[in-house]
Amino acid sequence: SKVKANTSSKNTYTYSTSFTKAVIDTYLPFNNPIRTCKELSSEHKQRLEKKVSVWDFSPLNVSHEDLIHCSVIIISQVFSLSEVTLFTTDQLYDFITDLSSIYYNENPYHNFAHAVDVLQCIYYFLCQMGLVPLADGTPNLSRTKSFHILRPRDIFALFIAAIGHDTAHPGVNNAFLINTSAPLALLYNDNSVLESFHAMTLFQLLKKHKFDQVLGGQDSVEYTEFRKLVITTILATDMALHSDYVTRIKEQKERLVDSDPSDWDAARCLEERLLFCSGLIKCADISNVARPFPRTYEWAQILVEEFASQGDLERELGMDVLPMNDRSQIVLEDSQIGFIRFVALGLFESVSDYMQGMNKSELSFPVKYIEQNLSIWQDRKQEHIESNHHTLVHDRRHNENTQSTTTTVVGSSYQKEDTDSHSDSTATSASEDNSDYHTQAVDAIGSKPDYNLPKMPAVAMTSLSHPNNVYPTKESPDFDHVSEWEHRESSGPVYCQCTIQ
């Protein structure tokens, strides 16, 4: 009986391993070679350490090799703290190099550069809280209430979650996978499909690099807590859960008013820790709107291109295309205004208020950047409205006379009077620093983005030629899905990107 039980257990393990391998083989990049990194010179290392130690950080136009170096530099900072299991530099390089190769770097947005951007954002947040040393040597460590909630080993887990939170992202969103009955959607029952896949894929890679063994084995408390935090925070990046998390973060702040984390029991600490880390990674995941405007502008164009890529694929498959994914209807300014107003600003304000409840206000700076960037986007929209007013009026009248159908949009319509009113109030209350920021930001971006957008289509479209393709195709000789995205003039509605992240 004992032999039979062991045989059954072995067969179950073999089946589980084979199934997982089949899923990974289907969705991970094909034959992507593992790159090796050259050893850093001291001068080059210092340059990268300074680069990752500022908020005006951009991974765009940085070599793949330097992105790996930046990731290792950031994660290594936590090893200077106590209570952290040490990994060797070689172990980290092997893991990060391997991880970088299973990101679809052909994706305009969801690629390894985005992963490094999220990692650097969380790192900078924690540096501002005084929990992690700055890589460039600037002294900043201090003990705060959050130190009791977030232990050094939790910071390590959060770093791993950040760099792996979009592992093997296919370049399309959950809605697309669900609407096409993709195998991943069926596997995860239409719930947090991509996020569940990212977590599963990441842990397969962590196991390959023996993280479970280094952290004490799969049954150890350290590994169990590590796995719990990584999975929870990755699942928190599902934008379908966004409103719920914002509400929970606000409630958490209220709980901290008359509470000392050092008095909490283990269960309470775990609950608060997971929510705290979830709030941080959610902010980091959409931090492109909170960076200095030249960075925000770069990311906005890249993100819009990935939306349009999905829209092109949907059209090719004969599916309905939402305006937010329709290359002919996307308006860059509107997409950013809507996302900031209805999604990003509320989240960052909640996290900032939470930090003030912890007697720390270091995370108020992203809110200021978001407000300044929102003002710039609104000014850009107003400029387009004024310069094209007569053309837009003519087009609208023509459409009213020739079309009998209406278009459903995501977001809200902005009236010209509202825009003027907001611009006037913003201008009245803006400080000289804000005015200087506005001028410098506009001068920095010029008329073209600093980043060259990848060509169409998104990597997800390779599924059309895959021998096991599950998507029915629809030929459309009149549609050219490789055309580049061009700026569209605003017609009023705001297409909010909140369902895509």
CA 440 from centre of chain: 26
Q: What count of residues does the chain have?
A: 501
Tell me if residue 110 is catalytic: yes
Q: Catalytic one among 110, 198, 242, 438?
A: 110
Tell me the C-alpha distance between 304 and 307, whole Å.
Answer: 5
Phi, psi of 39 (to 5 degrees): -65, 140
What does the angle CA 67 – CA 107 – CA 480 come to, to the nearest 5 degrees? 150
114 is known to lie in a ligand binding site: yes
* Token digits of residue 364: 């108020």
Cα 110 to Cα 54, 116, 163, 172, 198: the distances in Å are 22, 11, 12, 9, 12
398 is known to lie in a ligand binding site: no
Tell me the C-alpha distance between 287 and 424, whole Å.
Answer: 27
Determine the residue type at 409. V
112 is known to lie in a ligand binding site: yes
| Cβ-contact 163, 99 below 8 angstroms | yes
Mapped onto helix, strand or coil, the DSSP state of residue 475 is coil
301 is known to lie in a ligand binding site: no
56 is known to lie in a ligand binding site: no
Of 460, 393, 418, 499, the closest CA to residue 168 belongs to 460
| Cβ-contact 261, 269 below 8 angstroms | yes
- Cβ atoms within 10 A of the Cβ of 35, count? 12
DSSP state of 55: S
Of 328, 315, 250, 296, the closest CA to residue 484 belongs to 328
The dihedral sign for the CA sequence 107, 113, 118, 121:
negative
394 is known to lie in a ligand binding site: no
110 is known to lie in a ligand binding site: yes
Report the DSSP beta bridge partners of residue 413: 493
Tell me the C-alpha distance between 107 and 153, whole Å.
Answer: 32
Alpha helices by DSSP H, 129-173: 145-149, 152-164
Environment class of residue 359 by beta-carbon count within 10 Å: exposed (0-12), middle (13-18) or buried (19+)?
exposed
Tell me the C-alpha distance between 126 and 7, whole Å.
Answer: 48
Q: Which residues are annotated as a binding site for Zn(2+)?
A: 114, 165-166, 285
Residue positions annotated with a catalytic role: 110
**Binding site: which residues?**
110-114, 165-166, 285, 336
State the binding site for AMP: 110-114, 166, 285, 336
